[in-house]
Amino acid sequence: MNNNQIDSIVKAVMAQLGESGALQSGSVNEAAVSAAVQTSVQAANTPAPADNTAFSDIEDIASPEVKHRPLLENPADPDGLQRMLSKTPARIGVGKAGARLKTKTYLALRADHAAARDSVFADVDEGLIKEMNLFSVQTCCHDRNEHLTRPDLGRKFDEKTAAEIKAHCTPNPDVQFIVSDGLSSKAIEANIKNVLPAVMDGVKALGYSVGTPFFVKFGRVACMDQAGELLGSKVTCILIGERPGLGTAESMSAYITYGSKVGMSESLRTVVSNIHKGGITPVEAGAYLAEVIDMIMKNKASGVNLKK
Name residues whose C-beta falls within 8 Å of residue 107's C-beta, 6 or more positions apart in sequence. Answer: 61
Question: Could you give the 3-state DSSP secondary structure of residue 216?
Answer: strand
Scored b (16 or more CB within 10 A) or e, 236-267 reads: bbbbbbbebebbbbbbbbbbbbbbbeeebeee
Residue of 216, 202, 206 lying closest to 165 (CA atoms): 216
Which spans in 58-181 are helix H? Answer: 64-67, 78-86, 103-121, 126-131, 144-149, 159-168
Q: How confident is the model at residue 251 (pLDDT cuts 50, 70, 90)?
A: very high
Tens digits of residue pLDDT in 119-170: 899 999 999 999 999 999 999 999 999 999 999 999 999 999 999 999 999 9
Distance CA(214)–CA(197), nearest Å, equals: 13
Distance CA(308)–CA(117), nearest Å, equals: 38
Beta-bridged to residue 236, according to DSSP, are 176, 257
Tens digits of residue pLDDT in 92-127: 888 888 889 888 888 888 888 888 888 899 999 999
pTM comes to 0.74
Residue of 273, 238, 274, 275 lying closest to 257 (CA atoms): 238
| Structural domains present in the chain | 3-45 (no CATH), 59-121 (1.10.30.40), 126-305 (3.40.50.11240)
**Rg of the Cα atoms in the chain:** 31
Angle between helices 185-205 and 282-299 (to 10 degrees): 50
Tens digits of residue pLDDT in 30-46: 555 566 556 655 665 66
